[in-house]
Structure 1
Amino acid sequence: MKTLCLQKHGLFQPLLIIVVLIFSSCVLTSQTNTAEVGDILYYEGFESTNSLQQNGTATIALSDVYAAAGDKSLSVEPVADNNWSGVALRNDSLATPMLPSGKYRLTAKILSPKNTTVGIRVETKDSFGMDTYGSVGSAKVNLVADQWVDVTMDFAVPADHQSVVAIVFHNDDQIPNLHFYLDEVKLLVTGLPLEPKPTPPQEIVFPQWDLSLPSLKDTYKDYFMIGNIISPYQMDLETTAMYKHHYNLVTAENDMKPQYFSPAKGIYLFENADWIIDWAEANDLKVHGHVLVWHSQSARWLNTGLDGKPLTRAEAKSNMEEYITNVAGHFRGKVISWDVVNEAFTDRAGIPTDWKEALRQDVPWYLAYENGADKSKGESGADYIYDAFVFARLTDPGATLFYNDYNETDSWKREAMAMMAEELNAKWKTDERNTEPDRLLIEALGMQAHYWTASLRVQDVEAAIKRFIEAGVKVGITELDIPYGSWTNQHSDPLTAEEERNQARLYAELFKIYKKYASHIDRVTFWGKADSQSWRAKGSPLLFNRAFGAKQSFYAVIDPEGFLSGN
């Protein structure tokens, strides 16, 4: 009999605080790991059956077109709209599952009818119960047309991870019309998991929001709006009460992105976003729309043909106008602002001489607009940005229009963003469609503010704000979080008191600057409500911890000057 103990991290029960003593005896389960080194946990040759499961959006079927052994293989056709679609070996489907501290070897044969790549990754739940996607094991397989490639991937599951979720064969590079075949998939044990150690008694505190804390929105009511993100499944009574206490603005975390609104031309799915709008209206919250035009999480039909090639400039422009007219039109009067274009610029050093040279030129919108551009008229792939803002303005004149990007404090992107706003706003002044000549087209530049404690320089933040003010636009702090560590040295342990204090100092310094330029700042939006609900959860990036308790960063934001004077 194997002992199964509750884990401290990853629990969620917002209704009340309960303190429970968990002892090492815990719960007994009849599941026994009988695997030995060399044992095969999974094998499939796909001759008559398949136990792999669809992951994301993909078409899978047994096929006799190709076979590495026998007569058949598994045909997999994932969509290109995301990088996780494909086929998965789910750990919960195994008679003997993969376990933390175990070592394993995956072997398989993969083929594609054309030269391409296929990704493989191990997905787990880490020590905090957060999803990992490839950090435990991953590979990118380069395929030559019509040739079987033997794949071997060894991986060890960290002892502190809670569980293994799956091994996924996926469209890592988001390749249009990717089609590959799998055969002879095998998973075997190369190292046994460690015996679990007795767990000492521990307290588990079920999260609860403390509504007696000072209100963030009330603290900054004379400065700027304070916002956060939401998803439809999070709108319970406790979260709603917390939201009304601390925030006056909401952004949909995912449900207003193009891939969720319109999977195919002429089809629009507004239900999830409408729930957010209705919830916001019922609770006196304003809504910011995120996002109309983006190269990621987009709808493929907008700018790419069925053959995987860019549409023509005219086709893409027509689709963009249709999409923005339908989406921004549906929410006209219900949102106060839109991120019209998101993350259009590259990351480099230096300062560009022309903002167009700083654009991502390998993304679908740019490629489509470049396809048919009349160079003699000065047309280029960059023109999609102006069109997006014009279509948004004509559809919803009442909304404030943002351009939004990350690494906005780097000189390359800071200058590119400012120059773009200056040039396109000057162009709009003489556009015959402009019925408000004294109003800007790009009215605000969004600073995503996804920082790291190890690299954040508040003087760079101030320099970006000043440059954007010089460009004549408002500034939005749109996705603020500060995880501990750096991109190359990501922090995964709970923060010590000193680490939490260091993080809080940075929040205090930021808000001192935000207050200094408050007359130019539209809003400050945090990208997550508590550390456990953040997309960067490992670094504990937000104002509230995993138990929803206020961290030192919360008090630093409430009183930046006071916090810095005492710390």
Structure 2
Amino acid sequence: MQSGARQALPPAAEMLPQSVSAAERPAGLSSLPIRQRTEAAAMPAPSRASASGSRYSAVRTLPSSGSSQPVSSVSHCIRIPPSVICIRCRYYVLKSCKICRFCCNIAIWLYPLCEIFMGKSIAFGSELCYNNIAAICGNDFESGGVTMKKWKQAAAAVISAVMALQAMPLTGISAADGDLLVTDFEDGDVSAFSKRGDEDTSVIEATTEDAHSGKTCMSVSERSSGWNGPSVSLEAIGCKPGVQYIASAWVKMKWYNTARISMQFTDADGEQHYNNLSSVNSDNAWVEIPAVKFSFSEEMKDVSIYIEAGDSAPMWVDDFSLTAAPVYPIQKDIPSLKNVYADYFKIGCAVTASELAPQSTQDLILKHNNSITLGNELKPDALLSQSASKAYLEETGDNTVPQIKLSGNARTILNFARDHKIPVRGHVLVWYSQTPTWFFMKDYSDDYSDATKWCDKETMLKRMENYIKAVYATLAEEYPDVNFYAWDVVNEAYLDDGKPRQPGKYEDGNGSSAWVKVFGDNSFIEPAFTYARKYAPKGTKLYYNDYNEYATGKLDAVIKMATDLKEKGLIDGIGLQSHLDVRTGPDAYPSANVYASALDKYCATGLDIQVTELDVTIDKNHLDESGFKAQAEYYSAIMDAIASHKDQISAVVFWGTTDDQSWRASQLPLLFDEKYQAKPCFDAIIDGIKYTEPEETDPVIGTTTTAAPVETGLRGDTNEDGIADVVDAVLLARYLAEDDTAVISTVGKANSDVDGKAGLTPDDVTHMLGAIAKLHKM
């Protein structure tokens, strides 16, 4: 493709419809059939509200007819028919857009144009025109390097494109693939939501009693229990396995309560599962349940998401959204971490089934990692089956053989590892946390208060052995081709002072241990390694794993314990979790020197060392360039210390893939951001390392190819941010209008030439917008 020369645009005034006065404008559009609305004017949109997420994710409320006044008197009012595609949410609407609450008229375009040109938040009235914008923005046109003439030319290009879209046939156009269920309930329709079964007493209906936005919301009354609430069948609205979705909602509880978006599904054995996804507290006030990403596997059936609360308080829900998560391509032209460190150690990551759903996450792992840790799916609470254990006890009378089941989520990750021949690091067999307390009860019951129902040491030793045996046997049977090269046998048994944890149960949330409650101390550690050594696959190395491994008391206790087990041939190595915090300046926890000193001591044991859960958080007050710089410097120092012991360290595993999926997401601890872009800390840990990029082997078909530069261009992606959207069309329009501040690279120009003709012209802008509106392909 060729970039071509810039072509002049026609004067803006020639592209504008004639003005219409406010008095001539219809008060509303809802009563007009779509074909009769071509002469109707735009309904007003209120001022922008603060919102996170997308650049244009403003929350808007449609005003009542005639409630909004013009921003200023006008001479050239832009009046575009509203019966078009909403470019912001890509919905074909019959009246005002229910998704983004814009009217589908030129306001959609002027809003991003204003923000991109001036960084302004424009409060639009019922009339929109260049003069209005000029009156609001004042001299910012000049100070920003954008003259009024150039602004008009660029805006005119977009307006022309929108008008061109008007002429395209609208038959068959529907919601974009990404929008599954997004509603503000203004139409009074709550049919997508249902009660959670016959025992749910909820009454679900639309109400105008107290909406968050607009006039209508969904009321959920007469709830008799906390689990009662509105539920949405994912199959019914078109969700598919293996795809990542985003859910959010605004909710109001009548009195103080915790409201949650949760997911329910049935596994392959017919057992029900419930996962809390996102929660928020409400005290008779509207609050937003934070948007949360989720997915489900093919093995999961009857999947639904629902909103529940802590008790039976009446609930109101508004602005519910369930959409497909955006897809961002990875950077293919940066070094591969596993290749950079090929002469040092494995480079791994932890991943959950939901996290693995997007193709981009899979691509990121395949490019950079040669080790995978299942984030949660091989932990005891994910494997143990209470119902099956009870059934086995009732059938045999033997209470020493707990039953396990490999979940669909575990299979999703293990299938990926098998298909791409990626070694797996098993995590974890014996742990105080995420091990259900019923596992320690004689009858596997949930009655923890009766001290007589707790198992004794002998019973728990038998259960431990049978559990470990079952885990290894199940994985060997179902995944004989997966290389489980390492396993964490015991996890986090010591406090920072080197003492055992306090006795108790993990559900209390205070770090107490049911293992210590039964055994009285950490004497369960050696039997765990004994059984693991007995049943682990040949070649699998066994590790003790812990965090705050640099704390003096814990460091001494772990080294003593591991040295004793080493002498007995029961342990192969120590896992250093390495959840670190750069903070600012000398306040890093720990300092790079303290971490390096601890690493020296662990390596001196002669045991294999693995860094198992590495992440580095940034100070919440410095989530900016200074914070990223400090993070990069700290990561570099930590990796330098690790690399200096490459003969004693066999793997470095990062705990997650991208910042937004991290368990510490709010402090951006990983190497890649939510758009799969490498952060400064990525560059910092590869800088100065000499390596040879090997030939790349296709992991699926096994063919070998010579590595070559990869074309990273995406059609329509003018600014090369990995997405083709309205921002790209605006940038191209500015460039064509000879706006000197609109800079487009060679690749960006090639990406922008989308209309099939040589050279960049206004037709490329029109073509982009049509593709964004789903009227044709890019």
State the TM-score bracket (shorter-chain normalisation): 0.5 to 0.7
Q: Distance in 2 between matches of 1:473 and 1:360?
A: 28
- 1:231 partnered with 2:352: yes
In the other structure, the counterpart of 1:211 is 332
Q: Which residue of 1 aligns with 2:504?
A: 362
Query: Is the Cα contact below 8 Å between 2:200 and 2:229 reproduced in 1?
Result: no
Taking the TM superposition and a 5 Å limit, the aligned residue runs for 1:115-130 are 121-123=258-260
Gaps of at least 5 residues in structure 1 are: 12-19, 35-43, 54-71, 76-85, 109-119, 126-130, 139-152, 171-181, 194-203, 374-379, 429-439, 563-567
8 Å Cα contact 2:501-2:516 kept in structure 1: no
Alignment of 1:344-363 (within 5 A): 344-347=493-496, 352=498, 357-363=499-505
**1:447 corresponds to:** 576
Q: Of residues 255, 263, 271 in structure 2, which corresponds to 1:107?
A: 255
Seen in structure 2, the aligned counterparts of structure 1 residues 276 and 367 have a Cα distance that, compared at 3 Å, is closer
Q: Distance in 2 between matches of 1:10 and 1:310?
A: 56
State the 1:558 CA deviation. Answer: 1.1
2:428 corresponds in structure 1 to: 291
Counterpart check, 1:383 vs 2:516: no
- 1:318 corresponding residue in structure 2: 462
Which residue is 2:554 aligned to? 413
- Displacement after TM superposition at 1:286 (Å): 0.7
Query: C-alpha distance in 1, partners of 2:56/2:454?
Result: 43
Q: Tell me which residue corresponds to 1:276.
A: 413
User: Do the aligned residues in 1 keep the contact of 2:485 with 2:539 (CA within 8 Å)?
Assistant: yes
TM-score (norm 1): 0.64
Equivalent residue, structure 2, for 1:250: 372
- The reply to whether residue 393 of structure 1 matches residue 547 of structure 2 is no
Shift of 1:244: 2.2
Q: Contact 1:500/1:553 (CA < 8 Å) preserved in 2?
A: yes
Q: Contact 1:313 / 1:370 at 8 angstroms: preserved in 2?
A: no
Residue 680 of structure 2 is matched in structure 1 by 552
Matched to 1:406, the amino acid is Y
Alignment RMSD: 4.4
Question: What per-residue deviation string (whole Å, max 9, x for no partner) do you get for residues 438-494 of structure 1?
Answer: xx4222111111122213311221122122123332221111111212xxxx46x9x
**What letter corresponds to residue 415 of structure 1 in structure 2?**
D
The one-letter amino acid of 1:252's match is L
- Tell me the CA shift for residue 88 of structure 1: 5.9
- Superimposed CA distance per residue, residues 58-95 of structure 1 (whole angstroms, 9 cap, x where no aligned partner): xxxxxxxxxxxxxx9946xxxxxxxxxx62655989xx
1:512 aligns to what? 640
Give, in whole Å, the separation in 2 of the partners of 1:105 and 1:410: 44
Any conservation in 2 of the 1:291–1:341 contact (CA below 8 Å)? yes
1:239, distance to aligned residue in structure 2 (A) = 3.4
Paired with 2:661 and 2:87, the residues of 1 have a C-alpha distance of 25
1:464 corresponds to? 598
Q: What does residue 174 of structure 1 align with?
A: none
| Distance in 2 separating the partners of 1:405 and 1:413 | 9
- In our comparison, the structure showing a higher alpha carbon Rg is 2
The structural deviation recorded for 1:25 is: 12
Name the CA shift for 1:186/1:236 in 2 (closer, same or farther; >3 Å): closer
Matches within 5 A, 1:55-204: 74=224, 87=227, 89=229, 106-107=254-255, 121-123=258-260, 136-137=280-281, 153=283, 157=287, 169=309, 185-186=313-314
Contact 2:503 2:517 in 1 (8 A): no
The code of the aligned residue for 1:296 comes to S
Following superposition, the deviation at residue 362 of structure 1 comes to: 3.0
Q: TM (normalized to structure 2)?
A: 0.48
Deviation at 1:211, TM superposition (A): 1.7
Match of 1:327 in 2: 471
**Cα drift, residue 277 of structure 1:** 3.0
Distance change in 2, residues 1:419/1:507 (3 Å):
same
2:490 counterpart SS class: strand
Distance change in 2, residues 1:24/1:548 (3 Å): same
Contact 1:52 1:90 in 2 (8 A): no
1:229-276 per-position Cα deviation (integer Å, ceiling 9, x unaligned) = 233452565433332221111111111111111213253222543443
Quote the offset at 1:283 in angstroms: 1.3
TM-superposed CA distance for 1:300, in Å, is 3.9
Bigger fraction of residues in strand: 1
User: In the alignment, which residue of structure 1 is the partner of 2:671?
Assistant: 543
Deviation at 1:387, TM superposition (A): 0.9
State the secondary structure of the residue aligned to 2:372: strand
Contact (CA 8 Å) 2:541, 2:572: kept in 1 or not?
A: yes
Give the distance between the partners of 2:664 and 2:343, measured in 1 at CA: 30
Equivalenced residue count is 424
Instruction: State, as a whole percentage, how many aligned pairs show the same letter.
Output: 26
Contact kept? 1:336, 1:399, Cα under 8 Å: yes
Which residue number corresponds to residue 222 of structure 1? 343
- Hey, what does 2:770 align to over in structure 1? none
d(CA) in 2 for partners of 1:230, 1:404: 18
Change (3 A) 1:99 1:223: closer
Provide closer, same or farther for how the CA distance between residues 258 and 251 of structure 1 changes in structure 2, counting only shifts above 3 A. Answer: same
Query: What is the alpha-carbon distance in structure 1 between the residues aligned to residue 407 and residue 290 of structure 2?
Result: 36
Change over 3 Å in CA distance of 1:416–1:8 after alignment to 2: same
- Does 1:534 pair with 2:667? no
Task: Return the offset for 1:168.
Answer: 5.2
Shift of 1:287: 0.7
**2:504 touches 2:517 (CA, 8 Å); kept in 1?**
no
Query: C-alpha distance in 1, partners of 2:441/2:249?
Result: 42
Change (3 A) 1:10 1:452: farther
| 1:317, distance to aligned residue in structure 2 (A) | 0.8
Confirm or deny: 8 A CA contact 1:258 1:292 kept in the other structure.
yes
Q: Structure 2: which amino acid aligns with 1:386? A: E
Conservation of the 8 A alpha-carbon contact between 1:508 and 1:560: no
CA apart distance, 1:167:
7.2
Contact 1:207 1:548 in 2 (8 A): yes
